[in-house]
Amino acid sequence: MKLANIKREWWKEAVVYQIYPRSFQDSNGDGIGDLRGIINRLDYIKSLGIDVVWLNPIYSSPNDDMGYDISDYRNIMEEFGSMEDFDELLAGMHQRGIKVVLDLVVNHTSDEHEWFKQSRSSRDNPYRDYYHWWPAEKGTPPTRWSFFDEQANAWKFDEQTNSYYLHYFAVKQPDLNWENPKVRAEIFNMMHYWFKKGIDGFRMDVITFISKHPDYPEFPKECYGSKMIDMYAQGPKLHDYLHEMNREVLQHYDVMTVAEGPGTHIDTVLDLVDEERQELNMNYHFDHQGIGVGERYIVNHDFQNLVKFKRVMSEWDAVFEHKGWNTTYLGNHDFPRMVTRWGNDSPAYRVPASKLLSTYLLTMRGTPYYYMGDEIAMANIKFDDINDYKDLMTINWYHLTKQEGGDLDVFMESHKLCGRDNARTPIQWDASKNAGFTTATPWIKVNSDYTQFNVATQDKDPESPLNYFKKLTQLRKDHLTLVYGAYQLLWPDHKELYAYTRSMDDIVILVLLNFSVKTLALELPQDLQNGSVLINNYPQFECHGNKIKLQGYQSIVLQI
């Protein structure tokens, strides 16, 4: 790999920090995080050394799915503040050299969006074709599976016009009809509106699902249930629409785009992100998140299968060897806390495991997407009581399991590991009441471990996960090899060790990550000996010639 041959881009060199505004910082004492809360924390965000902030949806919404059900794309959610607050936030980020990426949720709207209110009012309303309707006189519509519906049915009968409407997600999230050129024009205009305000890109929610076959053919039997995801991601006009979006909107600005790509696979993803096709810049896949997790997030013995994890991540890296660009993430608002999911949240290993995972994210090829709170090693809250959950997904799946007479204990134990609310608990700022997140009752419980794990304490401790993360963002800036260098996996079948090199021009960087509590003894191959330590999550590094030892969850980066 030669730097001279690489097409450098700011979004390839960036570290993206994801903020879930509802849980970041409350400024007005209503228990809900808001834009002014983020404004008050701008200097903290800057201090992390990140380059881009992705904000989960901030638009008007009845919050059935926490903002992923938008009722007005051009207004700010009341609980989050006003458009003036947003403008101030954007200016504050830009003054600090941080770019801002918003969530683009255009597979569906809220049923409280004016378009849907019109659309459902009569069959001849001008907005009727903004959504997908199936007239009941044609019989029951072809089977479609819904992610969040209490009955798992994606068609909802609406009495007013004796028709069914389509909703891949919750019943309050009707799917937009992209076949209709007016819908596409509305969306493209809305995107221009935000780009003209100065935002720097979009993360595109389930963008792979936007194209639906107008006749809704029955899917093959083997694609029923959650396997429909793959069918949903292969809509006939997906790439026409994205190319049109690029031509009409994206190419007119210096912005970044990232697809949330359920149903994308290594053999098809380049259709989305090959530069020559002029669609999107990046995609994030779900293949690693699926390891050891079954239907309704029931966890099995493969949950932390490192060999599978390495295989998935390495196969994805290889796709982008010559074209397109990868992303790396371990957690976000839809997945558990990374230290619980991929590391070890027991008191003895939580700190090194968390630092190890940060090391992984910041030394892989592909833009890292880093989730807020991971920098202080936040862990899953693991609710015992279903009434503590706020996420409609866990709640609806619980009821579905109950109706079916399923095992609710297994369900609850699995959701302690995988439920989305684990990542949505408030940021732990300090050891004061409610972790300094709010003066009121927080909208979701604060993790009781906040007295030990919080920003204020870690800020003062040079060895904390927080200060380690800051070193890592600087390391990535100082070594372009970590951004662009070729990736090579070593010891692919090792069950505890994830090791790889990153190389560019005449530089080789070796990354050694012990994903276990065991002490690992290793012999380094000749060409990888005598490296100098760039970063180490332990105070020492045991190395005698080619023989090294890694302590439990030790991670070391060496320049050879």
Site string for ligand NOJ, 300-339 (x = CB under 6 A): ---------------------------------xx-----
Question: What is the distance between the alpha carbons of residues 135 and 390, in angstroms, rounded to a whole number?
Answer: 34
Q: Catalytic site residue 404?
A: no
540, with CB counted inside 10 A (0-12, 13-18, 19+), is: exposed
Q: Which residue is nearest to ligand NOJ (CB)?
A: 68
Residues 6+ apart with CB under 8 A from 369: 16, 18, 54, 258, 284, 327, 328, 329, 332
Nearer to ligand NOJ, 149 or 205 (CB): 205
Residues 141-170, mask of contacts with ligand NOJ (x by CB under 6 A):
----------------------------x-
Collapse the DSSP code of 156 into the 3-class scheme (helix H, G, I; strand E, B; otherwise coil) and give the result. Answer: strand
Query: Residue 65 or residue 85: which is nearer to ligand NOJ going by CB?
Result: 65
Q: In angstroms, give the least distance from the CB of 334 to ligand NOJ.
A: 5
64 binds ligand NOJ (CB under 6 A): no
Indicate which residue of 51, 175, 205, 345 is catalytic: 205
User: Is residue 449 close enough to count as binding ligand NOJ by CB under 6 A?
Assistant: no
Task: CB nearer to ligand NOJ: give 148 or 219.
Answer: 148
Q: From residue 527, how far is each of 377, 480, 512, 542 by CA, in Å?
A: 34, 21, 15, 18
Residues that bind ligand NOJ (rule: CB under 6 A) add up to a total of 9
Residue 335 and residue 324: Cα distance in Å, rounded?
25
505 given a catalytic annotation: no
Nearest CB to ligand NOJ, comparing residues 184 and 333: 333
- Where in 356-415 is the site for ligand NOJ (CB under 6 A)? none
Do residues 242 and 87 lie in contact, with contact meaning Cβ atoms separated by under 8 Å? no
Helix H or strand E segment including 40: helix 35-40
The answer to whether residues 36 and 28 touch, using CB atoms and an 8 Å cutoff, is yes
Figure out which of the listed residues 89, 100, 105, 299 binds ligand NOJ, where binding follows CB under 6 A.
Answer: 105
Contact 558, 535 (CB under 8 A): no
State in angstroms the smallest separation of the CB of 338 from ligand NOJ: 16
In the three-class reduction of DSSP (H, G, I as helix; E, B as strand; rest coil), residue 310 is classed as helix
- Using CB under 6 A as the binding rule, the residues of this chain from 248 to 307 that contact ligand NOJ are 260
Please say which residue, 258 or 522, places its beta carbon nearer to ligand NOJ: 258
Residues 176-215 that bind ligand NOJ (CB under 6 A): 205-206
Cβ(258)–Cβ(204) under 8 Å?
A: yes
3-state helix, strand, coil in the chain (%, to 5): 40, 20, 45
- Smallest distance from ligand NOJ to CB 361, Å: 19
CA–CA separation, 436 vs 460, rounded Å?
17
Residue of 111, 260, 279, 345 with catalytic role: 260
Active site residues per annotation: 205, 260
Instruction: Point out which residues bind ligand NOJ (CB under 6 A).
Output: 65, 68, 105, 169, 205-206, 260, 333-334
